Amino acid sequence: MAITHIDHVLIAVNGLEEAAERYRRLGFFVTEGGEHPGRGTANRLAVLDPEYLELIAVRDRAAAWPDLVEHLDRFGPGLFTFALASDDLEADLSAFRRRAADGVTDLRPEEPWDGELVTPGGRRRTWRAFRVAGGRAVNPFLIQHDSEGEEKRRKLAGDGELLPHPLQYGSVSRLAFAFPTLDEGVAYFRDGYGLQPEGGPSICPSRQADRVFFPLQRGLIEVIAPRGGDSPVAAFVAERGYGVHSVAVTVPDTARAADQLESRGVAVRRLPSGTVQVDPAHTLGVRLSLVKG
C-alpha cells in the first residue's frame, strides 16, 4: 500500500467555459470534461502525466461539496485542494484510521465513497476516495481510479482524443502547501498522511519562507511556512489557516515557454533559477510556476 503521487489538483472556478478558455490561452489542452451525477459539480481537465489539473465548478449549491461552495464564496476562483493517488485505498484508509485512533494525529478519515463522471457523450469513469476531516481548513483527500497509466489518461480525455499541450506541459513537479509554522506542516503530513520528509529544513528566498520536502514516487509536496510577517506566505496562512499555496508544472524549456506565453499576452516573471512564474491574473488566481523537466 502506498500514496504514490499527486493525483490531481482542484482549481475552483465560477464558469467552466471561461476557465477552459483561460487555460487554453496558457497553452494547455483542455478536455470537454463532464458532470458528477448527484454531486452538483462539473469539470474540465488539463491532463498531465500522471497527474491532471481539474477545473471544477458548482452546478447545484445544495448538492455540491460544501467546502467547495464556501471556498468560492469566500475566496473566489483559485487553488482549492488536491488529491493523493493510492494504489491500495482500503489499506491506506485502515492505516489512517489506526493513526487517528492511536492519537498520532487529530485528522481523521471519513467514510470512503464511490464517484463517477459521465461525459456529454455518455462515457463513464469511476473511482473510490475518502476525504479527511479535522484541522482548520480543507484537507487533501485520497483516491484510487478504476484504471491506471495510459488507460486512465484515455478515460480522462472523455469523449475526445487526448491531444498534446501546445506548451508541452509534462507533469506536476511539486505542490507547495503552506502552514503558519514548519513544525505544524511536517506533523500534518507525517503523522496524518504517513508521509516521510527528506532532509532538513531549507530556505526559499523568493517567498521568504522555510520549507521541507516530502518526496513521493512521482513529484513531491513542498511544505512552506513564513519566516516573518513580511513573507507573502504570511498573509495566505493568516487568511486561510493552511492550504495549497502554489503548483509547479514541468516544461522542456522554460525560456521558450515564457516567450510563448508572452506572445499570447500572458504576463510572466523569469527568475534567475530559470523558473517562470505566471501572473495569477491570467490563471484565475492560481500561483503557477513552470520548471524544467
Q: Where are the domains of the chain?
A: 3-156, 172-292
Condensed to tens digits (0 to 9), the pLDDT of residues 71-91 reads: 999 999 999 999 999 999 999
* C-alpha–C-alpha distance, residues 276 and 67, integer Å: 31
Topology, domain 172-292: 2,3-Dihydroxybiphenyl 1,2-Dioxygenase; domain 1 (3.10.180)
* C-alpha–C-alpha distance, residues 248 and 239, integer Å: 22
Condensed to tens digits (0 to 9), the pLDDT of residues 14-23 reads: 999 999 999 9
* Residue for grid cell 479527511: 132
Condensed to tens digits (0 to 9), the pLDDT of residues 160-175 reads: 999 999 999 999 999 9
Does the domain formed by 3-156 have CATH 3.10.180.10?
Answer: yes
Measured from the Cβ of residue 85, the count of other Cβ atoms closer than 10 Å reads: 23
pTM more than 0.85 = yes
Measured from the Cβ of residue 62, the count of other Cβ atoms closer than 10 Å reads: 8
Confidence of residue 118 (pLDDT cuts 50, 70, 90): confident
* C-alpha–C-alpha distance, residues 142 and 145, integer Å: 10
SS (H, E, C) 20-64: HHHHHHCCCCCCCCEEECCCCEEEEEEECCCCEEEEEEECCCCCC
Condensed to tens digits (0 to 9), the pLDDT of residues 263-284 reads: 999 999 999 999 999 999 999 9
Fold match between domain 3-156 and domain 172-292 = yes
* Residue for grid cell 486512465: 152
Average pLDDT for residues 22-38, to the nearest whole number?
A: 95
